[in-house]
Structure 1
């Protein structure tokens, strides 16, 4: 049985000025005390400054594992508190990057979420971290965490248990698709989507075309 749990629930603390096209960023997430309502578009009181690249129902929540945060703390030589990666959920006992695309988690008493897609590091994230070549380093390490779709709304808080309640048979993980996607992976995801085992967000079909062109087929 899983012994995974939510270490912290994080939402935007304040909007920060940013050099990107929007001019502000909501990446400054910090832990909140007590229960937080979870809607289809994410945590109550949380926002995304740009929903072109972030947010929406397919990216309602972003989860990052404490083990990966510990890795980066060692690499960077500093503490990396919950929320520093822009995550909504800092979790332990479950590897977000190793989650199978489409698997579902029960969090607390009533929230159910579905693993959707990897986080792609951007320039805003690099500015937030203040580390040279951060976007490249983050991508190269492959410890990217996962976005989540909210299947059943409810309330969550730090300390809630996380249970895997469904794992698709296709076997393609968030980390595999981000770091080393193959045509076999593509076909497995496509078949699982067509069979109704999972529901891929539309961007995957664009990625399939890019992958096919890149691999020469």
Structure 2
């Protein structure tokens, strides 16, 4: 059975070696959390987005990461609590990075749709205090998934995660991540996702193909 191990939200706080603040340090919360369609910022009530140019909004309303992938990195980083990678939902029993773009999940009283991989940045490296983290995270190709909110409601730790629809085009979150970060030969393969390919990813594909 696939479940939500933890629901986490973040508050604005200084990040070591970085100018400004970030909400990347997500902390588990108790009880149900309201999830809605955001015009900007996060889809979770109480979750702070400091860099609205790169995070949040309808297509990045929720970030999910698998406990199994946290354990993969724990072999070198040590024990990792839920929310360490900035995820809102820490799941167990579902291959988040192996989900297809456009896949729909029912989580508690909410329906979510997989939209894109999380792209690592220097803020995540500063948060973990790990030199070379962006390169390491990229090489592992375990990015976790951004999700849009199709049906709002509440999510709590312990809720089941049910994949209600898988488009069948075969383009996964990990496929998109590899194509965008280091394996450009894979970029044309992303077109198979059709309408489930975000416009900004399609624009990136077009620009790179033209060059």
1:8 pairs with 2:6: yes
Deviation at 1:15, TM superposition (A): 2.2
Q: Which runs of 5+ in 2 are unaligned?
A: none
Do 1:36 and 1:43's aligned partners in 2 also have CA atoms closer than 8 Å?
yes
Deviation at 1:58, TM superposition (A): 0.3
Do 1:12 and 1:46's aligned partners in 2 also have CA atoms closer than 8 Å?
yes
* Counterparts of 2:190 and 2:134, CA distance in 1: 25
Q: Deviations over 1:90-142 (max 9, x none)?
A: 0010011100000000001x200000000110000000011120011001110
* Counterparts of 2:79 and 2:11, CA distance in 1: 19
1:90 pairs with 2:87: no
* Counterparts of 2:115 and 2:17, CA distance in 1: 28
Q: Deviations over 1:175-199 (max 9, x none)?
A: 011114625423312xx31xxxx3x
Do 2:117 and 2:143's aligned partners in 1 also have CA atoms closer than 8 Å?
yes
Q: Deviations over 1:12-45 (max 9, x none)?
A: 1442246556x11111100000111001121101
Q: Which runs of 5+ in 1 are unaligned?
A: none
Aligned residues: 202
1:179 pairs with 2:183: no
Matches for 1:1-217 after TM superposition, within 5 Å: 3-17=1-15, 20=18, 23-41=20-38, 42-76=43-77, 78-108=78-108, 110-180=109-179, 182-189=186-193, 192-193=194-195, 198=196, 200-213=197-210
Do 1:18 and 1:24's aligned partners in 2 also have CA atoms closer than 8 Å?
no
Q: What TM-score do the two structures reach when normalised by structure 2?
A: 0.90
TM superposition outliers: structure 1 runs of 4+ over 6 Å: none
* Counterparts of 1:149 and 1:92, CA distance in 2: 20
Deviation at 1:75, TM superposition (A): 2.1
SS of equivalent to 1:106: strand
